[in-house]
């Protein structure tokens, strides 16, 4: 999901590409729901005997902040498939830059999956996690054996007002260095930083931890965002506060689907790899999908824990965004107005009591 580093730099845009989610790769096992389903504005969920929700009659439209189907967003795809499996009419649209958030704000979509600054600047309210860790690491030439070894070296980052800026500050603090002791090149994109390293133009690069080409294997990992800034999240799920108020059951269902997709990712490599291939139209080989799963598993981006989403987690990410001047609009509201954790808390309670069904 390293493409998110570009969002904070780009001009706001409305046009996005749309990817229809496939129903040929439904994750998990099927179940027969009882009851009469849940209308779109239902206040509470109806559950089947095994504990999964019956979503018949419910429509949920999700926008994902990606210009195309990217392997790192397979969990979003799986989330939509679980909603569909449980009976909802669920759709996913992949859109560039802040288009999903603007579509949610206008009522054309219900839920946006994307970076926190973009969501809160559009006036949306965070109600669920997405990727709870940054998919970022610091790669260096094999001769550099530690973060302290970056002293005097040329290092490529995307830019200061991005996750790279946060990771750089944490790395420098751990190494006991200052920026003036490094030669920093700002490339504008994670992929450009990696290419500069592969071409021998820099000594180290801040880049994505997953989806790396085979030649990247010869470089040394000096640090990861998971270790250096573990509370800094890649992305969240958000919606209009009015939608959360009028569709509490749908919001809870989305969080339940996140938990189901997270469980699938953490426990079933084969199913996740199969779904990734479907989602990305077999753009890569099975070996590449397996490698991506292994890299993402190390990231621990989808932890199955109630603490994945707390007020302190959201407040921490808001604070960083404000320090980087990444929030310019409605995101300057008090932190308490930027979040509604009731759907997440209800979903966790249901999931924890019936985890075997998910």
Query: Which pair of structure tokens corresponds to residue 317?
Result: 């990410």
Q: What is the pLDDT of residue 37?
A: 52
Domain residue ranges in the chain? 2-133+233-357, 136-228
Mean pLDDT of the chain: 88
Beta bridge partners of 354: none
Alpha-carbon gap, residue 337 to 287, rounded angstroms: 44
Q: What is the pLDDT of residue 31?
A: 37
The domain covering 2-133+233-357 belongs, at the CATH homologous superfamily level, to Periplasmic binding protein-like II (3.40.190.10)
Other beta carbons within 10 Å of 139: 27
pLDDT tens across the length of the chain (358 residues)? 444 444 344 333 333 333 333 333 444 433 333 334 566 677 899 999 999 999 999 999 999 998 788 898 999 999 999 999 999 999 999 998 899 999 999 999 999 999 999 999 999 999 999 999 988 899 999 999 999 999 999 999 998 877 888 899 999 999 999 999 999 999 988 889 999 999 999 999 999 887 788 899 899 999 999 899 988 999 999 999 999 999 999 999 999 999 999 999 999 999 999 999 999 999 989 998 998 899 889 888 999 999 999 999 999 999 999 888 888 878 888 999 999 999 999 999 999 999 999 9
How far apart, in Å, are the Cα atoms of 120 and each of 212, 234, 337, 352?
31, 14, 10, 29
Query: Which pair of structure tokens corresponds to residue 233?
Result: 């999240």
Alpha-carbon gap, residue 77 to 293, rounded angstroms: 15
Q: Are 26 and 58 a contacting pair, CB within 8 Å?
A: no
Reduce the DSSP state of residue 168 to 3 states and report it: helix
On whether the 136-228 domain is CATH 3.40.190.10, my answer is: yes
Given this chain, do its domains 2-133+233-357 and 136-228 carry the same CATH topology? yes
State pTM to two decimals: 0.83
């Amino acid at each position: 999901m390293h493409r998110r580093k570009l969002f904070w730099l780009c001009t706001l845009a409305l046009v996005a590409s749309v990817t229809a989610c496939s129903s040929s790769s439904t994750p998990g096992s099927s179940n027969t729901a009882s009851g009469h389903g849940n209308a779109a504005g239902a206040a509470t969920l109806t559950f089947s005997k095994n504990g999964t929700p019956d979503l018949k009659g419910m429509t949920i439209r999700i926008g994902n902040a990606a210009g195309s189907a990217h392997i790192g967003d397979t969990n979003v795809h799986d989330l939509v498939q679980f909603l569909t499996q449980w009976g909802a009419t669920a759709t996913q649209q992949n859109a560039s830059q802040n288009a999903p958030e603007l579509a949610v704000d206008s009522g054309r979509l219900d839920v946006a999956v994307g970076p926190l600054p973009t969501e809160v600047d559009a006036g949306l309210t965070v109600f669920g996690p997405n990727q709870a860790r940054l998919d970022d690491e610091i790669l260096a030439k094999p001769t550099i054996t530690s973060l302290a070894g970056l002293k005097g070296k040329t290092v490529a980052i995307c830019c200061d007002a991005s996750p790279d800026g946060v990771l750089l500050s944490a790395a420098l603090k751990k190494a006991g260095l200052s920026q003036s002791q490094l030669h920093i090149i700002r490339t504008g994109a994670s992929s450009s930083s990696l290419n500069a390293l592969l071409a021998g133009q820099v000594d180290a690069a801040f880049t994505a931890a997953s989806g790396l080409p085979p030649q990247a294997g010869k470089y040394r990992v000096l640090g990861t965002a998971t270790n250096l800034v573990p509370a800094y999240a890649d992305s969240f799920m958000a919606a209009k506060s009015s939608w959360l108020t009028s569709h509490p059951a749908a919001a809870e269902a989305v969080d339940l689907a996140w938990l189901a997709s997270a469980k699938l990712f953490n426990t079933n490599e084969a199913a996740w790899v199969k779904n990734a291939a479907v989602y990305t139209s077999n753009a890569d080989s099975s070996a590449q999908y397996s490698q991506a799963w292994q890299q993402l598993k190390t990231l621990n981006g989808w932890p199955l824990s109630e603490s994945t989403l707390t007020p302190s987690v959201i407040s921490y990410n808001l604070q960083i965004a404000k320090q980087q001047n990444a929030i310019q609009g409605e995101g300057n509201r008090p932190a308490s107005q930027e979040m509604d954790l009731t759907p997440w808390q209800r979903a966790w309670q249901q999931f924890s009591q019936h985890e075997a069904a998910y």
